Amino acid sequence: MEEEARSFLGRFVEEFPAALEEGTPLPVSPLSRRVTLEELHGESLELGRRLLAARGAPAGLSALLCQAALSQLLQNDLSPFHCAQEAGNNQEEEQEVVLLESEAVQRVFLNKLIEVTLAWSQDFSKHPPPPSQFLHCSVHTIKNTRRKMEDKHLALAEFNQLLGIQSQDDSAYYAVFDGHGGVDAATYAATHLHVALSKQESLQSDTGLALKMAFKLTDDMFRGKAKRERLRSGTTGVVVLIQRQELFVAWLGDSQAMLVRGGQAVTLMDPHKPDREDEKKRVEDLGGCITFMGCWRVNGTYAVSRAIGDFDQKPYVSGDADCSTTQLLGDEDYVLLACDGFFDAVEPSEVPHLVQEALRQSVGDAPLDPSEDDAGLKVAQQLVCHAKEGGSSDNITVMLVFLRPLKQLLAQNSTTGTQQ
């Protein structure tokens, strides 16, 4: 780990020996033209992570560098980057929103990131890399036959380090967002929901409440952006947070998470679908309706009953997330997160056998060294291929978070077998 960190720092210093000069192109493009102060946190962290990941930075070191650079940015006077109010904008609530010129303020952030990285490379002993998280993650996504890819995902084993959370308990965050009507809502949720979660006072005392509030805050924040930029998209989402030997799942819509324990599928949640009895009643009690138009839809429009965005159909399409909590006993194999493009073609009960076969093909019977964990990356890819072969034409995203070493899973499967 130390050798990998030193190697990255050396390469980075060679590429960025000094601050970016004014007027030169940024090495990574900002996500937005204008950002609010509230959005600056998520967009800066995402920009930093993208820049460092593209240059092979270890994830733990990247998280610490991005957090340090963001902390320094927020100590600056940001008023020089405020946007002038646009002519003809007479809406009071819009006038209250402070918008920043994204490219200008992100140049300052990236220069802070360069400055921090240079300082750490010069005195590496004061900034040893954090221990790597043990959870191995396998992700694969495809556009499939759809015209555009509207799924987004995020895997943050270094949740505390990236968000500057001081806690003795490590937290790991995983999320899949399935956008519709465009990718904007999914991109927004993947950029901001984990930041919103980190700001919840109840995160340590009532994690389920914190997750629900984070979904709500992200929906409210996206409403402002959608209004300013005339966006109409929406996204379902499923988030898994692992901390203190507990696994929390929060979700909106029909993206799902499931657990496999001892080779057996464990249900963690009930997806929000328009034809689910309680969802149908909720919509109808509000004066809406559920109709069948190729599939069940809310008011004849959206095929989801809860989502971030879709503001033309709020409150029928609710922004209120649900949450479940599962105690981790130590015998769990992995948790799988996926969009409906996967679960519409694959039954949860099929997953343990599919993963067992994928592991067998990827790793075989040879002893698995911890350094060979990259073999697990092929598991998600094979699951995605299976869903496509099963008839899915939608975007497909599959993420597996292994809760024990792959070697143990292979040993367990060879001795006991996995029941379908």
Give 194-206 pLDDT, tens digit per residue: 999 999 999 999 9
What band does 129 get if pLDDT is binned at 50, 70 and 90?
low
CA-based nearest residue to 341, from 396, 384, 295, 273: 396
Residue 419's pLDDT band (cuts 50, 70, 90): very low
Mean pLDDT lowest among 157-161, 292-296, 405-409: 405-409
- Higher-pLDDT residue of 220 and 377 is 220
pTM higher than 0.75, yes or no? yes
**Residue-wise pLDDT tens digits, 68-109:** 999 999 999 999 999 986 654 445 445 578 999 999 999 999
pLDDT for position 371: 43
Residue-level pLDDT at 365: 46
pLDDT of 420 higher than 60: no
Asked if 115 and 132 touch (Cβ cutoff 8 Å), the reply is: no
Return the higher-pLDDT residue of 358 and 90: 358
Residue 134, pLDDT score: 59
179 beta partners: 235
- Residues 6 or more apart in contact with residue 363 via CB below 8 angstroms: 372, 375, 376, 406, 410
Tell me which residue has tokens 């000069």. 21
Mean pLDDT calculated for residue range 306-320: 97
Which residues on neighbouring strands pair with residue 335, listed in sequence order? 259, 401
| Calpha distance 261→326 (Å, rounded) | 12
Tell me the C-alpha distance between 132 and 278, whole Å: 43
The domains of the chain, with CATH numbers, are 2-126 (no CATH), 136-416 (3.60.40.10)
Percent of all residues in the chain with a pLDDT value above 70, rounded to a whole number = 90
> Are the CB atoms for 37 and 190 separated by under 8 Å?
no
In angstroms, what CA-CA distances link 376 with 319, 348, 355, 362, 372?
Answer: 35, 20, 10, 7, 8
Give the angle subtended at the CA of 189 by the CAs of 207 and 156, to the nearest 5°.
60
The predicted pLDDT at position 51 comes to 98
* Residues 217-263: tens digit of each pLDDT: 999 999 999 999 999 999 999 999 999 899 999 999 999 999 999 99
Mean per-residue pLDDT, 338-362 = 93
Strand, coil or helix: 78: coil
- Predicted confidence (pLDDT) at residue 283 exceeds the cutoff of 80: yes
Mean pLDDT of 274-297: 95
Q: What is the pLDDT of residue 167?
A: 84
For the record, the structure tokens of 405 come out as 């070493």
| pLDDT on residue 90 | 47
Mean pLDDT score of the chain: 90
pLDDT confidence of 128, banded at 50, 70, 90? Answer: low
Alpha-helical regions (H) of 336-376: 340-343, 351-363
Q: Stretch 58-73: mean pLDDT, rounded?
A: 95
- Evaluate if residue 25 carries a pLDDT over 60: yes
The answer to whether residues 160 and 167 touch, using CB atoms and an 8 Å cutoff, is yes
Q: Which of these, 58, 65, 67, lies nearest to 132 by C-alpha position?
A: 58
Q: What is the mean pLDDT of residues 302-313?
A: 96
Indicate the length of the chain as a whole number: 420
Q: Listing from the earlier edge strand, what are the strands of the sheet with 332-338? A: 136-142, 396-402, 332-338, 256-261, 264-267
